[in-house]
């Protein structure tokens, strides 16, 4: 069985004081967890994570990265800076980046490649809007988004990515895809990965994100192709985040 992975995406939240309490709470409550876990935090707090989490079972990472190497790109953060702070994961293509920063699937693919080249794991986000779901184009949309990344990777590297299916209409809304709805999309994504590389199809972790909470996490993660969660709001409270981690079978 693939190991489950639960990743907290703090989005643009945090303060040094609040982070210290949250991180200590998560570390203190991990005993007996069967899932791997990580937090993806705003870049200014990566040093704090490195200090608080080094040697613990909690990995850390960033929420975005430049597709470019170091250089004259004011305001950007390149992949080698993230490895400098011990990051294991980098979220790429989150729907909030696609929507508010006009990130194309092509740019997301280049970012995923930059993350891999730096020795980290990209968490590649895909997901449809409500209008796209209602138009019946969910599979077409997520396949196109994932396909842009797969097209840029040699088959041997496909196994090194993590995918997150995050229906845009379920993010921060309290609306969750039912386990069956999510499973159907996850199975499609897995088939698409397997078509590129059979071994990767079997091993790549596909996370679900979108209002995953302590009370629905177990049922979602019990689905055969749901390998964990990418958690927004519930990752900001140690108790809720831990409850989701412990809900992994
Ligand atoms: P919520 O869990 O707050 O719905 O956010 C999901 C998400 O976007 C995680 O990346």
Tell me the per-residue pLDDT of 117-176, one tens digit each, with 9 for 90 and over.
999 999 999 999 999 999 999 999 999 999 999 999 999 999 999 999 999 999 999 888
Atom of ligand 1 nearest to the CA of 235: 2
- CATH number of the domain encompassing residue 154: 3.20.20.70
What are the tokens at 81? 């800076």
Domain containing 100 equals 5-246
Is residue 63 lining ligand 1, measured as CB closer than 6 Å?
Answer: no
Question: 166 an active-site residue?
Answer: yes
Q: Percent of the chain at pLDDT above 90?
A: 97
Q: What is the mean pLDDT of the chain?
A: 97
Task: Collect all residues with Cβ–Cβ distance below 8 Å to 227 and sequence separation of at least 6.
Answer: 2, 3, 4, 5, 205, 206, 207, 221
Closest C-alpha among 39, 80, 79, 81 to residue 56 = 39
Cα separation values, 39 from 12, 68, 91, Å: 13, 24, 10
Q: Which of 96, 103, 132, 166 is catalytic?
A: 166
Residues β-bridged to residue 17:
none
242 in Cβ contact with 30 (< 8 Å):
yes
How many domains does the structure of the chain reveal? 1
pLDDT in tens, 215-229: 999 999 999 999 999
How many Å is the maximal CA-CA distance in the chain? 47
Q: How far is CA 23 from CA 49, 55, 241, 245, 246, in A?
A: 8, 13, 11, 14, 16
Query: Does residue 1 register a pLDDT over 80?
Result: no
């Amino acid at each position: 069985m693939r190991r489950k992975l639960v990743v907290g995406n703090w989005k643009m939240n945090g303060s040094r004081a609040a982070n210290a309490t949250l991180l200590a709470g998560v570390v203190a409550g991990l005993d007996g967890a069967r899932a791997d876990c990580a937090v993806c935090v705003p870049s200014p707090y990566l040093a704090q994570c490195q200090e608080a989490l080094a040697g613990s079972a909690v990995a850390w990472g960033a929420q975005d990265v430049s597709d470019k190497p170091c250089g004259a790109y004011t305001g950007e953060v390149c992949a080698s800076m993230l490895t400098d702070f011990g990051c294991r994961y980098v979220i790429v293509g989150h729907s909030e980046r696609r929507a508010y920063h006009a990130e194309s699937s092509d740019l997301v693919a280049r970012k995923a490649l930059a993350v891999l080249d730096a020795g980290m794991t990209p968490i590649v986000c895909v997901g449809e809007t409500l209008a796209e779901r209602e138009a019946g184009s969910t599979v077409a949309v997520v396949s196109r988004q994932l396909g842009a990344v797969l097209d840029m990777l040699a088959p041997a590297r496909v196994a090194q990515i993590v995918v997150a299916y995050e229906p845009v209409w379920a993010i921060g809304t309290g609306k969750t895809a039912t386990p069956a709805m999510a499973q159907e999309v996850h199975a499609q994504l897995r088939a698409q990965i397997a078509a590129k590389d059979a071994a990767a199809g079997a091993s790549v972790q596909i996370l679900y994100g979108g209002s995953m909470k302590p009370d629905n996490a177990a049922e979602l993660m019990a689905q055969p192709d749901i390998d964990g969660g990418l958690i927004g709001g519930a990752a900001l409270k140690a108790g809720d985040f831990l409850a989701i981690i412990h809900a992994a079978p």
